[in-house]
Amino acid sequence: MISTLEIEVRSTELDALGHVNNAKYLEYLEWGRFEWVKENGIPLDFFGTSRLSTVLVNTNVNYRREARLGDRLRIRSWLAEMGRSSFRVGQEIINHRDERVADAMITSVMYDTHTRTSVYIPDDLRAKLEPLVRP
Amino acid sequence: MISTLEIEVRSTELDALGHVNNAKYLEYLEWGRFEWVKENGIPLDFFGTSRLSTVLVNTNVNYRREARLGDRLRIRSWLAEMGRSSFRVGQEIINHRDERVADAMITSVMYDTHTRTSVYIPDDLRAKLEPLVRP
Amino acid sequence: MISTLEIEVRSTELDALGHVNNAKYLEYLEWGRFEWVKENGIPLDFFGTSRLSTVLVNTNVNYRREARLGDRLRIRSWLAEMGRSSFRVGQEIINHRDERVADAMITSVMYDTHTRTSVYIPDDLRAKLEPLVRP
Amino acid sequence: MISTLEIEVRSTELDALGHVNNAKYLEYLEWGRFEWVKENGIPLDFFGTSRLSTVLVNTNVNYRREARLGDRLRIRSWLAEMGRSSFRVGQEIINHRDERVADAMITSVMYDTHTRTSVYIPDDLRAKLEPLVRP
């Protein structure tokens, strides 16, 4: 239910202060959410041609520690909450010294790519997601 | 007091969905904050050797609309709130059709690069910042 | 014939050495080529659904000077050479002190997105491109 | 002597064509060179305070195949040639189907960060590098 993606901080992810730039954390978090979708076998094909997709509406990130070149980070992701058409993924980034580097709450809505409007989460997907919720 | 940075969406800022990736918005917002600092003559030298710096602690971003290749965006930034050692910058991204693409609240703390701890905002800097606050 | 795109170096384009990272130059150059296509009215729709596209096969970049935060850069691009199915775009990046920051030769081939093979440059496009060649 | 770095293509490394953008390859290659330096115990501290550093002068990259989301790539790097003050690193990127995605030749010069000029490769470093050359 909680997925963990392990990555290593690369040279081009640092900014002029010598640490990982705040925007790069959002990339790390996106990679973690893709891992969550894959590990849990969620039938969402973000870059494909499927009609049902999701749209990001809010990212709320707490930056707790610097990440530096060569740091090995674990990005943990879980489904924190589900509404009628929206859902929230909780995430945290932990370094190899077991320190919390960041945590985040990411809110998305279910989206119909044909009508280009938000829609209710379909029943079959809801049935699949419900047991994964972990507040 | 409110600074405006104008940019144009570039090809490498798009993701596989053909719109600006959510992480790239955080870069746009950082560019906007640098512009705010410059336009208001704030004596903070982020990448230099000055003792006093700031550390980002939270980013909260609402994504309201897609941005696409060639869109011309205005990034508006202002000082929204000031505490003893923390301050908040409000920001919004507006496209060339005057639609709001995103808005954000960015929280930072004053930081001493020698002692590596957060510190109170010094009186002279506070005096300079106070008239700029615009809730 | 020679297009010029003006940009300003942004904070997130710097690496830990405090200058623009070598990979970012390739982004700048791509932005410059998009500008060349636009300014010259070339009927190539890179991100659209047109059948005819181009594929990059080689980038050769000379790095001559550092670029730093706030530098204003001009990216100059021109069609340097045209073969049966390939063409080369020459590019250079000049800073606001009129110093050459980088120059590059970028080789691409014409590509059919349906058959997924390289193809000859069509006669009508060739007729449009030929007068633009500037070795 | 030849180092191999294994990575996986991440969502934010794709461009609007759904494949890894050409500029991102340059980042992959830089990550590979850092790995080569580390694996071979080369005493160069790129982001530190050491006097001796290197400056990139040319990148020459052949793009041979697309890389797509989830592709697992191996970045192979070796010292290909050494001059008085310059050296060349050969690199290739291979995907998990053993296809060559790209190859590259990267030229750098030895650089004195105090005098800010290129310098001869010092004898002790040369003695360490010479047995690693693999044309």
- Which H helix or E strand runs over B75? strand B72-82
Nearest to D69 among A12, A18, A47 (CB): A47
Residue A135 falls inside a structural domain? no
B28 φ, ψ (degrees, to nearest 5): -55, -45
Tokens of A27: 């990339």
Q: Return the pLDDT at C81.
A: 97
The chain A residue lying nearest C22, using CA atoms, is: A12
- DSSP string for D6-43: EEE--GGGB-TTSSB-HHHHHHHHHHHHHHHHHHTT--
Residue A10 falls inside a structural domain? yes
Average pLDDT over residues C83-98: 97
**D15, D45, D98, D123: which one is catalytic?**
D15
Q: Return the pLDDT at D95.
A: 98
Report pLDDT digits (tens) over A28-43. Answer: 999 999 999 999 998 8
Contacts of B34 in chain C (CB under 8 A): 10-11
pTM over 0.90: yes
Q: Count of domains in chain A? A: 1
CA distance A1 to D5: 30
Report pLDDT digits (tens) over C17-66. Answer: 899 999 999 999 999 999 999 999 988 777 666 788 899 999 999 999 99
Counting as contact any 3 or more CB pairs under 8 A, the partners of B are A, C, D
CATH number of the domain encompassing residue B122 = 3.10.129.10
DSSP annotation of B133: B
Q: Return the pLDDT at D49.
A: 67
Long-range contacts of D110-116 (CB under 8 A, 24+ apart): D110/D52, D110/D53, D110/D54, D110/D85, D110/D86, D111/D52, D111/D53, D111/D54, D111/D55, D112/D51, D112/D52, D112/D53, D113/D50, D113/D51, D113/D52, D113/D53, D114/D51
C48 contacts: CB under 8 Å, gap ≥ 6:
none
Q: Return the pLDDT at C48.
A: 67
Nearest to D18 among A12, A47, A69 (CB): A47
CA distance D23 to D29: 10
Q: Where does residue A134 rank: exposed (0-12), middle (13-18), buried (19+ CB within 10 A)?
A: exposed
Report pLDDT digits (tens) over B89-135. Answer: 999 999 999 999 999 999 999 988 888 889 999 999 999 999 999 98
CA distance B55 to A83: 34
Range of the domain at A45: 3-130
Q: Percent of chain D, pLDDT > 90?
A: 82
| Amino acid making up residue A2 | I
CA distance A134 to A88: 10
Report pLDDT digits (tens) over D15-59. Answer: 998 999 999 999 999 999 999 999 999 887 776 667 888 999 999
Q: Percent of chain C, pLDDT > 70?
A: 97
Instruction: State yes or no: pLDDT of A73 exceeds 80.
Output: yes
CA distance A101 to A68: 11
Question: pLDDT class for C112, splitting at 50, 70, 90?
Answer: confident
CA distance D134 to A101: 41
- DSSP string for C66-129: ---TT-EEEEEEEEEEE-SSEEEEEEEEEETTS-EEEEEEEEEEEEETTTTEE-PPPHHHHHHH
B116 φ, ψ (degrees, to nearest 5): 55, 45
- CA B73 vs. chain centroid, Å, equals 14
Question: pLDDT class for A60, splitting at 50, 70, 90?
Answer: very high
CA distance A68 to A10: 9
